[in-house]
Amino acid sequence: MKLFVGLGNPGAKYARNRHNIGFMAVDRIAADHNFGPWRSKFQADFSEGRLGSEKVLLMKPQTFMNRSGQSVGEAMRFYKLDSTDVTVFHDELDLAPGKVRAKAGGGHAGHNGLRSVHEHIGAAYDRVRLGIGHPGRKELVSPYVLGDFAKSDADWLEDVLRGVSDGATHLASGDGGKFMNAVALRTSPPRSSKSPDKAVDQPKSAPKAEPPADERTAMQKLLDKFR
């Protein structure tokens, strides 16, 4: 079994916050891959389903961001999972909006949700870093991450969520490369291979009509010459 954890804050007022992109990611996976209904357990909302041959538990901790690790730790102990069975989806200030990176282990870089997860299960879990960009100054970070995505963000945000969902089966099987390829097909689709110099087929002209058969007799042809 794999545990996919989306980080965010509970409640309608936070639903569209940049800080809640982790919730949005697991919501999209649940919807696209026909997971079961969301239920409450482990101080979290969770949904069960399958991605390929792997059973997966999706989780959205309801403890608020800075205590997310409590829920993750409870679920891990209940299902007897290792920290390497856990993947956390979270917002990432150090990536440009629309960029996604998969990462195994590492530090929490000051992210309150990751810091809490570290405290409860250690650092050896996987992460999917979902870029939201940086506001530019440290004092602007809190209002920025707790602010809603702008309307102008809608297109790239949709591409990111669709890409993450497309690649979720690969992520569950441990193939980070194929996961990133699936994301890239949504966020950076390949350009058309058509060249402007390539010859374009011209419409074929209509075939010339054959002249009608001359049905005159030899005498008529001779008389017509002297007319």
CA distance 177 to 174: 9
Geometric angle at alpha carbon 20, from 55 and 100, rounded to 5°: 70
Which of 63, 51, 179 minimizes the C-alpha distance to 119? 63
Which of 56, 53, 71, 52 minimizes the C-alpha distance to 9? 71
Phi, psi angles (nearest 5°) of residue 171: -65, -40
Which of 185, 148, 181, 158 minimizes the C-alpha distance to 28? 158
Catalytic pick from 19, 33, 90, 111?
A: 19
Q: Are the C-beta atoms of 32 and 26 separated by less than 8 Å?
A: no
Known catalytic residue at 19: yes
- Which helix (H) or strand (E) segment holds residue 102: the answer is strand 100-104
Q: Catalytic residue numbers?
A: 19
